[in-house]
Amino acid sequence: MKSFLPSVLILGGILAFSLWNCAAMTAHTERWSGQLEQVAELAGEEDWSGAETALEESYRDWSSHQTLLHIVERHDSVDDAEAMYRRASAFAKEQEASEFQAELADLRDQLRLLAEMERFSIKNIL
Amino acid sequence: MATAFLRTVILYFLIMFGLRLTGKRQIGELEPSELVLTMMISDLATVPMQDFGIPLLAGVIPILTLLALSMLLSQLSLKNLRFRALLCGVPTLLIDQGRICQEAMRKNRFTIDELLEELRSQGYCDVKAVKYAVLENSGQLSILPWPREQPPSARQLHHPVEDDISLPLILINDGRVLRSNLKKCGKSEAWLSQQLAARGFSSPRQVFLLTITGDDTIDYLPKEETP
């Protein structure tokens, strides 16, 4: 049994890391999506300064996980979400309600896709 | 550029370390499963090396998984004969007692032209000269000719021979004394210095290669002066 240990440990380690990564990505993206939902509500109530501050906070939270995101996710997917955050921020400054809401919806969808890509599902495996 | 450099270094050492763990065999001696593993790993490594948009982990994880699976399967095949036969296959007799086994050739998709080519490449122009031909798991054909087709050995001739073959042990390799080998043959450094002095050397650094055989015969090659 001892001879099986190294390979079983490596395989187990990879599986554990993959499961942790799936859970962590789901938790992070759900949190960012929740923050963006709040931003959308504030913008819907015409509270633009509140929406801008909430978006900045969400962006700061997102930016603090850039290293992890670049290690586990395809860089172009992360860069797309980053660009959406910046565009949403610009629309918030200009108080462009319809453009802002559309950008937030796209961003939330992109975040959902980031988690989706790491999920253990038949859709992803096949 | 720094990314490409560092990624290449990491992947190179990962693959070298991994393949070292899987065994010592050369490419020409790889079994089909090992060849596929080597090809897949080399292909997986090149993608994150060239495409910086893909995380390094996307290359590392499949490589580690393949290496770990390969290690696991080889351990299983060591423990279980049936599993080994399933994973690696079993050697097949293509010529048995001088008779070509057509059914075995069909099963292994081995044509008569390929068989004759293999025989010719090993110096046999006539199938009748071969007693056994075994298709090994590595795909190589091992040929055993009839005794009448081989030069007779000393044993067959009932001729007594002296066993004068012994493996030479390297004591100095490119000016460096291999102390472990010195210990293995029961000699001391003082003895080596004495032997060197007797041959006109003041230091092991002046010797390129020095070997000793089982009957204490010393062979040496002086180091050439660098221009």
Q: Name the nearest CA neighbour of A36 among A111, A96, A94.
A: A111
Alpha helices in chain A (DSSP H): 5-44, 48-63, 66-72, 75-94, 97-118, 122-125
Residue B26 scores a pLDDT above 80: no
Domain of A14, CATH number, reads: 1.20.120.660
Confidence of residue B1 (pLDDT cuts 50, 70, 90): low
Residue A38 to residue A95: CA distance in whole angstroms? 16
Q: Are A7 and B69 in contact (CB < 8 Å)?
A: yes
Higher pLDDT, B133 or A117: B133
Cβ–Cβ < 8 Å for B177, B144:
no
Instruction: Check: CB of residue A71 under 8 Å from CB of residue B55.
Output: yes
Out of B111-115, B186-190, B222-226, least confident range: B222-226
Residue type, B206: Q
CA separation, residue B169 to residues A41, B34, B164, B174 (Å): 82, 33, 15, 14
pLDDT in the model for residue B73: 85
pLDDT, tens digit (0-9, with 9 covering 90-100), for B132-153: 999 988 788 999 999 888 888 8
With an 8 Å Cβ cutoff, the interface of chain B facing chain A consists of 52-58, 61, 64-65, 67-69, 71-72, 75-76, 78
Q: What angle do CA B175, B178, B183 make, to 5 degrees?
A: 145
Residue type for B154, please? Answer: A
For residues A34-50, give the mean pLDDT. Answer: 92
- Asked if the interface predicted TM-score (ipTM) of this complex is over 0.85, the answer is no
Mean pLDDT for chain B? 85
**Mean pLDDT across B82-101:** 88
pLDDT for res A78: 93
- B132, β-bridge pairs: B96, B144
Task: Give the tens place of pLDDT for each residue, B96-107.
Answer: 999 999 999 999
**pLDDT range class, residue B41, cuts 50, 70, 90:** confident
pLDDT(B21) > 80: no
A7 touching B (Cβ < 8 Å): yes
- Under 8 Å between Cβ of B48 and B54: yes
Dihedral sign computed on CA atoms, order A68, A71, A77, A79: positive
**Which residue is closest to A4 within chain B, CA to CA?**
B72
**A97-118 and A75-94 helices cross at what angle (nearest 10)?**
160
> A10 CB near a chain B CB, below 8 Å?
yes
Residue count of chain B, please give it: 227
Split at pLDDT 50, 70, 90, the class of B131 is: very high
Q: Which long-range contacts (CB under 8 A, 24 or more apart) does A15-18 make?
A: A17/B61, A18/A118, A18/A120, A18/B61
Domains of chain B listed by start with CATH number: 2-86 (no CATH), 92-149 (3.30.240.20), 169-222 (3.30.240.20)
Q: What is the pLDDT of residues A97-115, one digit of tens each?
A: 899 999 999 999 999 999 9
Please state which of the ranges A55-59, B20-24, B29-33, B164-168 shows the lowest mean pLDDT. B20-24
Percent helix, percent strand, percent coil in chain B, to nearest 5: 50, 15, 35
Residue contact B68–A10, C-beta within 8 A: yes
Q: Choose among B52, B57, B78: nearest Cβ to A72.
A: B57
pLDDT in tens, B156-207: 888 888 887 788 999 999 999 999 999 998 999 999 999 999 999 999 999 9
Q: Give every CB contact of residue B93 below 8 A, 6+ residues apart in sequence.
A: B101, B104, B132, B133, B134, B135
| Residue B188 per-residue DSSP state | -
Interface contact B64-A76, CB threshold 8 A = no
pLDDT at B212 over 90: yes
Domain count, chain A: 1
What pLDDT score does B87 carry? Answer: 77
Band (pLDDT 50/70/90 cuts) for residue B27 is low
Per-residue pLDDT averaged across B2-28, rounded?
68
User: What is the average pLDDT value for chain A, to the nearest integer?
Assistant: 91
What are the two backbone dihedrals, phi and then psi, of residue B95, each rounded to the nearest 5 degrees?
A: -125, 120
Query: Residue B95: which of B134, B126, B123, B124 has the closest Cα?
Result: B134
- In which domain, by residue range, is A30 found? 2-125
List, for residues A68-105, the tens digit of each pLDDT value. 999 989 899 999 999 999 999 999 988 888 999 999 99
Inter-residue contact B95 to B133 (CB < 8 Å)? yes
Q: How many distinct helices (H) and strands (E) make up chain B?
A: 8, 8
Residue A6 confidence (pLDDT): 87
